[in-house]
Amino acid sequence: MGIIEKMRLDGKKIFVTGGARGIGKSVATAFAEAGADIAIVDVDIEEARKTAQELKDQHGISTMAIQTDVTNPEQVNAMIDQVVAGFGRLDVAFCNAGICMNIPAEEMTYEQWKKVIDINLTGVFLTAQAAGKIMIQQGGGSIINTASMSAHIVNVPQPQCSYNASKAGVIQLTKSLAIEWAGKNVRVNSISPGYIGTELTLNSPSLKPLIEKWNEMAPLGRMGRPEELQSICVYLAGDTSTFTTGSDFLVDGAFTCF
């Protein structure tokens, strides 16, 4: 069997949080193209259903849409139960849901700080923990967490201390889980995207001035595209990455190199 065939995900059962749109939808599409069955997990159930139906119609795979608040342990556990009941097992978890608030630190309320940390860091922990329990019982699996280049640098000109801190936490959480579960055949890695031009980002009036600044600073002179994150996630989800765990993969067009 050649390397291309080995990279396929036929028969894999995967859930994607924040999967209804943006990076989550793009990566879910790649998983579907590679043959996996996909559960689209999102707080926006209508968009999740649309995305799940699109993937089913276009790629002939099994899909489901599940409404879940990743900060709620009961909802996360119920989501995992639904995935396992529907698919029979869980092979890959893409813990991707996240938010960002651009608020100066001296003006940020406790509630604003807590919301970012709860979704971006605690939400990743809860979904990874729940997935890990199932994978340990099964004898293995792969967990992919979405961190950010903001875990490595302090972004400018926007003020986003809560986002940066939460994403740095995701990387250390990823490494910690990878060590704890290495002997249980559960691999845990993270991706750290740079600025990615999702539909929501590109169409946001408040972000357009920032995008111009970001592109001026970027070595490649542009933002990344969601599809430029697909191949690394397919690799981490599949059986050619069995010696890869505890790693963080920067996909940022060299933005963090200076």
Q: Which alpha helices (DSSP H) does the chain contain, by range?
A: 3-6, 22-33, 45-59, 73-87, 110-117, 123-138, 161-181, 199-202, 208-217, 230-237
DSSP classification of residue 152:
T
Q: How many CB atoms lie within 10 A of CB 240?
A: 14
Pairing of strands 92-95, 248-251: unpaired
Q: Which residues are catalytic?
A: 148, 163, 167
Gap between the Cα atoms of 113 and 160, Å rounded: 10
Reduced to 3 states (helix: H, G, I; strand: E, B; else coil), residue 242 is coil
Name which of 191, 116, 213 is nearest 161 in CA terms.
Answer: 116
